[in-house]
Amino acid sequence: MNSKIKDIEIFELGSKGKEASSPWSSTILIVRITSNDGTVGYGEAPTTFSTMSVREAMNEVKRSFAEKDFFRIEKNVADFYRDSFYLSKSFQHTAALSAFEIASWDMIGKELGSPVYNLIGGRVHDNLRAYANGWYSGCRTPDDFVTKAKKVLSLGFTAMKFDPFGSAFDSISTVQLNNAESIVSALRGQFGDSIDLLIECHGRFSLNAAERVARVMEKYSPMFIEEPLHPELESSLQVLRSRSKVPIALGERLLNKSDFARVISENLVDIIQPDLTNSLGILEGKKIAAIAESFGLPVAFHNAFGPVQTAATICVDVTLKNFLIQESFEPFWPAWKGRLLSDGYKLESGFLRPSHKNGIGVTIDEKVLEDSVVEGMETYSPDEPPWVVSDTFKTEDGR
């Protein structure tokens, strides 16, 4: 066995035509690493309106990982941490490094003839409850949401996440809050307690606005509200939690285990949502989950990009005693994403089921990968932020 890295290739993937998905997800970045004996591993980095800067950061990681022993994950990550002065504060660098870390695990599993989950503790779960996201593009009115939610339930999901706040940002008007409530009320009224509602705030509110939102949402018993406050208002989370009974979830903008240790130990959050593709990958994900477990908190990984990310996340999910639920965009992806894997994990009747193949458990369709290569930045509209689900940033009255 020769475990040295020989070749590293970086691919930007997207749609060459009109993009159907939301801008943050209209491109993904894939790294393909090949060892001296021909073992191939894949990793994924998110873009989130930063495609070009993340891609350049991946080139920096490439220089660091070239010719290294891919089994030495802790050392290779530590070496890049030493060299990257702003790593702990740079989404671009943690995203880039995460892709290489995931690809390294993919190669290790293939070399050892084992699924990655068996190398990090083994399966606690065989099936993972999933919640749908990305399903509500074009929804603005309660009827819009109810109509599309019926399709979500027909796919077997029993939980769905959505952002009902239209164009509200920082503050929220009474009209906007009433519209958001009418959407949530309609969904709860239509489907009762047969579904879990997960309320996405996208980190957009001041403390006063978030408190108003949380108090209104309480009566509809959501599983959680996600990122209710602007991320720089982290210290106000404790105040918000003292004024509302709605569980608060967050984590996609936290970049390492130290970030999570801080918000968990300071009692700022109820449910954590790390993202393996920007918080240093699989091994760090296990460490973050262990910190949460020691404080009695559940984990619901953020997962909004592509199938390599999902496969890697599932490898961690199935090993966690404190797993809660897993985000899934699969039925609402653009076609090219759905075709990228020729074999791998399954989404069936609202549950994600791990692949039992070696590595992270996927087979990439190389033709689809090559045909999906694009250059440049994500799509952009001055009328709608890139972080929302497409065509949802206005309420019925246009506000």
96-125: b (≥16 Cβ within 10 Å) or e = bbbbbbbbbbbbbbbbeeebbbbbbeeeeb
148's CB contacts (< 8 A; 6+ apart) are 135, 136, 139
Helix (H) / strand (E) containing 244: none
202 annotated active-site:
yes
Q: For residue 68, which phi and psi values (nearest 5 degrees)?
A: -85, 165
Token pair listed for 283: 């091994």
Q: Which of 125, 202, 230, 356 is catalytic?
A: 202
Q: Which of 93, 125, 230, 302 is catalytic?
A: 302
- Taking the C-alpha atoms of residue 360 and residue 285, their distance in angstroms, rounded to an integer, is 14
Return the C-alpha torsion angle 203, 209, 211, 215, nearest 10: -110
- Taking the C-alpha atoms of residue 179 and residue 343, their distance in angstroms, rounded to an integer, is 42
- Taking the C-alpha atoms of residue 138 and residue 70, their distance in angstroms, rounded to an integer, is 44
Among candidates 238, 233, 214, which has minimal Cα distance to 165?
214
- Taking the C-alpha atoms of residue 63 and residue 372, their distance in angstroms, rounded to an integer, is 25
Identify whether the C-beta of residue 124 lies closer than 8 Å to the C-beta of residue 323.
Answer: yes
- Taking the C-alpha atoms of residue 13 and residue 16, their distance in angstroms, rounded to an integer, is 9
Token pair listed for 23: 């801008």
Q: Counting Cβ atoms within 10 Å, is residue 223 exposed (0-12), middle (13-18) or buried (19+)?
A: buried
Residue 302: strand pairing partners: none
Give the up-direction half-sphere exposure of residue 126: CA atoms within 13 A in the CB hemisphere: 0
302 annotated active-site:
yes
Identify whether the C-beta of residue 306 lies closer than 8 Å to the C-beta of residue 111.
Answer: no
Checking phi first, is residue 208 left (phi over 0); if not, alpha (psi -120 to 50) or beta? alpha
Identify whether the C-beta of residue 41 lies closer than 8 Å to the C-beta of residue 30.
Answer: no
Active centre residues (catalytic): 202, 302
